[in-house]
Amino acid sequence: MKFVDEYRDPALAKRLLDQIRQIVTRPWVIMEICGGHTHAIMKNGLDQLLPAQIELVHGPGCPVCVTPVETIDRAVAIAAKPEVIFTSFGDMLRVPGSASSLFMAKSAGADVRMVYSPLEAVALARQNPAREVVFLAVGFETTAPGNAMALLQAKREVLTNFSLLASHVLVPPAIRALLSSPGNRVQGYLAPGHVCTVMGWQEYEPLAEEFQVPIVVTGFEPVDILAGLLMVLRQLEAGRHEVENQYGRSVSREGNRAAQRVVDEVFAVRDRAWRGIGVLPASGLVIRDQFAPYDAERKFGVETISVRESELCKSGDVLQGLIKPDSCPAFGRECTPEHPLGATMVSGEGACAAYYRYHRNCPTAPHLLRSLAVLA
Amino acid sequence: MHTLNPENFSCPLPITEYETIQLAHGSGGRLSAELVSRFFLPRFGNETLNRLEDQAVVDFPHGRLALTTDSFVVDPLFFPGGDIGDLAINGTVNDVCMSGATPLYLAAAFIIEEGLPMVTLHRILLSMEKAIKAAGVQIVTGDTKVVNRGCCDKLFINTTGVGRVPEGVNISAANLKCGDKIILSGSIADHGMAILTSREGLSFESRVKSDTASLNGLVEKMLQASSSIHAMRDPTRGGLATTLNEFATSSRVGIVLEEGAVPVRPEVRGACEVLGIDPMYVANEGKLVAVVPAEVADRVVAAMRSHPMGREANIIGEVVADNQGLVVMRTALGAQRIVDMPVGEQLPRIC
């Protein structure tokens, strides 16, 4: 398949791995921010192939994982209303809230539907004028333009029965928070290629400068990731700290201006709670006041729902790169994909789910392989 | 362009005063009798069924009997490459023959929603007729119920099948032995992606077709090549990954696969990439995976390739002693990952 196969080419990947092995002279800790990267690394076993000195730390870039419990609880409360058709991407349906998930709400009688695009939800609103159609709009900067477009489309068509339950988060404030944390060990970053397709990489330049870390915008196929790592490592070994772009086929420095304008029209930047991490300043998007009739949170009066979280779950530490998923005492015991305690075990991009899915057998677990390599 | 199908001439819609199914068609009265005599018997009729007894009484060859039942609730009823009718025949024929048995008789039960167009039912019965002829089996008994509008979605079909297991054949998911080879009959994920991409609401166009087909002819060829097949299944819901995990768990062994060895058609792979779905977890309706001793593997593969249903048969992996109960994939880059059981519902009502 064009534009996919060349980025999965084993020969090219092996050449990149050889180059990485040649230039690495000491241990380095690199974080991939994006859950899409984490998933691709685990699926292709890239962590098993890297030299033992390189430690990959998984970042908080899974929108499902950092969506606060109160958003899930609000979603469940709205979905339970008889007039509501509640729509969402599939991943969000299984995420546990305080007491219930959207799937559980569905089996209890709520009209919950999985859609592949927010515009499908707009179409549902058009087809069901007597019902309230709500779309759960989660994600990073990547999905914000599509969700903003859906809202504007509904407004143009005067579909007053359409609203968004919005829970958008922004990447740069999260990187700032991680780099400012006293326990930070991360020395270089792979920045998320999809987010930067929309936003460009300008806003990463002050971070690279202030914290003196190399940041490389990286794509999602194995060859992309290895090339991105090679670029970070070249900078680290040379003592440089710049923003570089590996994902040139998709990302420019300015990003997609039209998409940015739509996001800015509909959303305003606010402080936001990240599940497992806490409130980060100016890290989220909320629907602007002039679009209040399309804001499900205000429409259904669910702003004040309070929450309860599992005490066993260490997903906050996982999301901050402080521990690896399999160091959590609940991993694979109380917490499995069938009975997730935290969202990191639910989402396809969650670090815990990726570890459980691809590497829970001891002989190939990355930390064990690494220790074997050290012994050898 | 509209193409003419000769079958539409030979099997016109039977004459009936109703354009849609009425509740009375399931009453057991005159309309029920008319539905059976005008719609079902002309398609499925045989000496046993024509007697219209409450049960089929049939001759059965001496030996072990394989029995299976399956309910078909696929949505939509018609999809690229097939419909609920041929799926209901092929699915049950395949479940019988995965034991090595020769399928002989089927029972079919229809739960029909009031208001189903007669022409829809007729079209489905025609495709069932074609499927039973292709598989060489008979429907010998059946049942029809009609439920109120909203009490089922258009049409559900249950089929039950029986077959005879040949002497000396012992096929079970618990029979895997270290060193055995895993053979796959062809490309995966066609059926599930055909259903997904034809669903309403998904504005997605593709040329992906379901692979629904009966596999008893292929199984016969395989058993002629070697009667020592250890395990065999058709990887339907949950896909190849689920079937192999079931094998590994039942037999308490590990399974190692080679990433490049599992074929996926380009159009299916494209659809999977766009929708973020792993083809290893997508349903098939005309493929089988068999586990055989290493010394007969090449012979079985050659026999499979001589049959239209097994042209692309290939060895995709082997059974190992490590990692009991796990399926591990060797990636193209030389690393490893677990191929786990799926969690949650990837796609409801695919069969």
* pLDDT at res. A375: 29
* pLDDT at res. B87: 98
Pick the more confident residue, A319 or B295.
Answer: B295
d(CA B188, CA B193): 10
The mean per-residue pLDDT over the stretch A31-42 comes to 91
pLDDT at A270 over 90: yes
Q: Are A5-62+172-242 and A65-170+255-298 the same fold in CATH?
A: yes
Of A1, A48, A356, the CB nearest to B335: A48
Model confidence over B91-120: pLDDT tens digits?
A: 999 999 999 999 999 999 999 999 999 999
* For chain B, percent of residues with pLDDT exceeding 70: 94
> Sorting pLDDT into bands at 50, 70 and 90, what band is A308?
low
Report the gap between the CA of B324 and the closest CA in chain A (Å): 10
Model confidence over B73-87: pLDDT tens digits?
A: 999 999 999 999 999
Model confidence over A141-166: pLDDT tens digits?
A: 999 999 999 999 999 999 999 999 99
Report chain A residues whose CB lies below 8 A from the CB of B333.
Answer: 10, 13-14, 44-46, 49, 222
Asked if the peptide bond before residue A118 counts as cis, ω within 30 degrees of 0, the response is no
* pLDDT at res. B7: 53
Q: Tell me: ipTM over 0.85.
A: no
Domain ranges of chain A: 5-62+172-242, 65-170+255-298, 315-375
Residue found by looking up tokens 């899409």 in the block: A36
Structure tokens that stand for A58 in this block: 């998984």
* pLDDT at res. B5: 57
* pLDDT at res. A337: 83
Please say whether the beta carbons of A349 and A64 come within 8 A: yes
Does CATH number 3.40.640.10 belong to domain B181-338? no
Mean pLDDT of chain B: 92
> Sorting pLDDT into bands at 50, 70 and 90, what band is A332?
confident
Say which residues have a Cβ less than 8 Å from residue A345's Cβ, sequence separation at least 6. A315, A335, A336, A337, A352, A353, A356
Structure tokens that stand for A137 in this block: 């709009």
Out of A97-101, A276-280, B202-206, pick the least confident. Answer: B202-206
Residue-wise DSSP of B225-265 = H-S---EEE---TTHHHHHHHHHHHHHT-EEEEEGGGS---
* pLDDT at res. A131: 97
Exposure of B212 in the CB half-sphere (CA atoms within 13 A): 33
Strands of the sheet containing B102-113, edge to edge, are: B64-72, B155-165, B102-113, B138-147
The mean per-residue pLDDT over the stretch A46-64 comes to 90
Contact B273 A1 (CB under 8 A): yes
* pLDDT at res. A376: 26
Of B270, B338, B344, the CB nearest to A360: B338
Contact B201 A115 (CB under 8 A): yes
Domain ranges of chain B: 17-165, 181-338
Report the gap between the CA of A247 and the closest CA in chain B (Å): 19
Model confidence over B11-34: pLDDT tens digits?
A: 778 877 889 999 999 988 889 999
pLDDT at A369 over 50: no
pLDDT at B332 over 90: no
Of B202, B335, B344, the CB nearest to A49: B335
The mean per-residue pLDDT over the stretch B183-187 comes to 98
For the ranges A183-192, A228-237, A324-333, B53-62, the maximum mean pLDDT occurs at: A228-237
* pLDDT at res. A194: 94
pLDDT at B122 over 70: yes
> Sorting pLDDT into bands at 50, 70 and 90, what band is A366?
very low
Q: Whole-prediction pTM value?
A: 0.85
Q: What is the CA radius of gyration of chain B?
A: 21
Of A222, A360, A364, the CB nearest to B336: A364
CA A360 to chain centre: 22
d(CA B139, CA B159): 9
In CATH, the number for domain A65-170+255-298 is: 3.40.50.11740
> φ, ψ for residue B30 (rounded to 5)?
-65, -45
Mean pLDDT of chain A: 89
In CATH, the number for domain B17-165 is: 3.30.1330.10
> Sorting pLDDT into bands at 50, 70 and 90, what band is A357?
confident
Model confidence over A125-139: pLDDT tens digits?
A: 999 999 999 999 999
Contact B338 A337 (CB under 8 A): no
* pLDDT at res. B10: 58
The mean per-residue pLDDT over the stretch A246-266 comes to 96
Report the gap between the CA of A271 and the closest CA in chain B (Å): 31
> Which one of B274, B328, B331 makes the best mutation probe of the A interface by having the most chain A beta carbons within 10 Å?
B331
The chain A residue lying nearest B348, using CA atoms, is A114
Q: Please name which of A62, A9, A71, A77 lies closest in space to residue A350, comparing C-alpha atoms.
A: A62
pLDDT at B72 over 80: yes
Question: Which fold would CATH assign to domain A5-62+172-242?
Answer: Rossmann fold (3.40.50)
d(CA A274, CA B21): 55
Model confidence over B216-261: pLDDT tens digits?
A: 999 999 999 999 999 999 999 999 999 999 999 999 999 999 988 9
> Sorting pLDDT into bands at 50, 70 and 90, what band is A367?
very low
pLDDT at B199 over 80: no
DSSP A307: -
The mean per-residue pLDDT over the stretch B55-79 comes to 94
CB pairs under 8 A between A and B: 69
Please say whether the beta carbons of B228 and B299 come within 8 A: no
Model confidence over B125-134: pLDDT tens digits?
A: 999 999 999 9
Model confidence over B276-331: pLDDT tens digits?
A: 889 999 999 999 999 999 999 999 999 999 999 999 999 999 999 988 999 999 98
* pLDDT at res. B310: 97
d(CA B278, CA B256): 18
Asked whether the CA dihedral A344, A40, A173, A199 is positive or negative, the reply is negative
Q: Which residues of B touch A (CB under 8 A)?
A: 201-204, 266, 269-270, 273, 275-276, 322-323, 326, 328, 331-338, 340, 343-344
